[in-house]
Amino acid sequence: MTFSEIDYQFKGMIILTVDLHIHTTCSDGLRTPEETVKEALEKNIRAVAITDHDITTGIDLAIRAAKNTQLEIIPGVEINSVWDNEEVHILGYYIDVESNSLQSELEHIRQARQTRAENIIKKLQALNYDISIEDIINLYGNGAIGRPHIARALVRKGYYMNTGEVFDRLLARGGKAYVERYKISPFKAIEMIKDAGGIPVIAHPGIYKQEVNWRQIVEYGLMGIEVFHTKHDTKTTNELLKIANKFNLLITGGTDCHGIGSSSLLGTIDIPYEVVLRLNEIRS
């Protein structure tokens, strides 16, 4: 056995890696919940949180696929909010997916996503792109429609080489087909998660342009920080660790994987299972 094989076994079986930020085809990920479970098992990952944007349908599918396996599925959600003109995402862990209040709020947000997509499509049509909302729904369903779906459709139709290019040219803020999103505040997102018995955690704070007003968001009930994330460098991670300690917040982490196959990030950060134990301590 080579050193790298021993190291791999050590990582997989003893450290027990988890990944608490994953998107599936239920929102804008490329991998189904079932494929996510399969890949997580192959990678010896101990727990995965399904955190789709504004939708929870992937959770049950993943739980069913992971039944009688070593893999634990943590129910989650990622809610997009706007704070001081900047997008801030709030993750919710161990939400009760049956919660009526949460589901009706999410339904409302998804309706607004569809309206936004329709308005983006109108702008694209005015720019002479041959695309319709039916194209998007036929290809990707109408669960939680997002800009990545529109970008992928334009790539499929041969207008662009990749989705990054579509964002740069059309869909990013300031782009020719940009449409503002329906705005809810991070405080509202925190309230929705707490009302459904969940644990609110700020997603990838290292990528925001403005410094988070930590005192204020903690006052509103924030309970954790996503310290480990694929877009956080070591310096950012260390700064966030200090903030988590200062405000007595939970430390979480995940890859925010949207991809599949060679573009999959699942399990590429070693996050110890202890994070899941801590989440469970807070829950009880």
Distance separating alpha carbons of residues 256 and 93, to the nearest angstrom: 14
221 binds, among ligand AMP, Zn ion, Fe ion, none (CB under 5 to 8 A by kind): none
Mapping DSSP to helix (H, G, I), strand (E, B) and coil, where does residue 233 land? Answer: coil
Cα Rg of the chain, angstroms: 19
Phi, psi (degrees; rounded to nearest 5) at 138 = -60, -40
Contact flag: residue 183 with ligand AMP (CB under 6 A):
no
Helix (H) / strand (E) containing 177: none
Q: Does 54 bind Zn ion (CB under 5 A)?
A: no
Of these, 147, 204, 229, 232, which contacts ligand AMP (CB under 6 A)? 147
Using CB under 5 A, pick the residue from 19, 28, 52, 105 that binds Zn ion: 28
Q: Write down the least CB distance from residue 259 to ligand AMP, Å.
A: 10
Q: Is position 163 an interface residue for ligand AMP (rule: CB under 6 A)?
A: yes
Helix (H) or strand (E) holding 202: strand 199-202
For residue 44, give the DSSP letter: T
- Classify 81 in phi/psi space as left (phi over 0), alpha (psi -120 to 50) or beta: beta
256 binds, among Zn ion, ligand AMP, Fe ion, none (CB under 5 to 8 A by kind): Fe ion
Calpha distance 54→122 (Å, rounded): 23
Q: Which does 167 bind (CB under 5 to 8 A by kind): Zn ion, ligand AMP, Fe ion, none?
A: ligand AMP
Nearest approach in angstroms of CB 206 to Fe ion is 12
The verdict on 256 binding Fe ion (CB under 5 A) reads: yes
Q: Is 61 in the site for Fe ion (CB under 5 A)?
A: no
H-helix or E-strand containing 149? helix 147-156
The binding site for ligand AMP (CB under 6 A) comprises 28, 53, 80, 146-148, 163-164, 167, 172, 181, 258
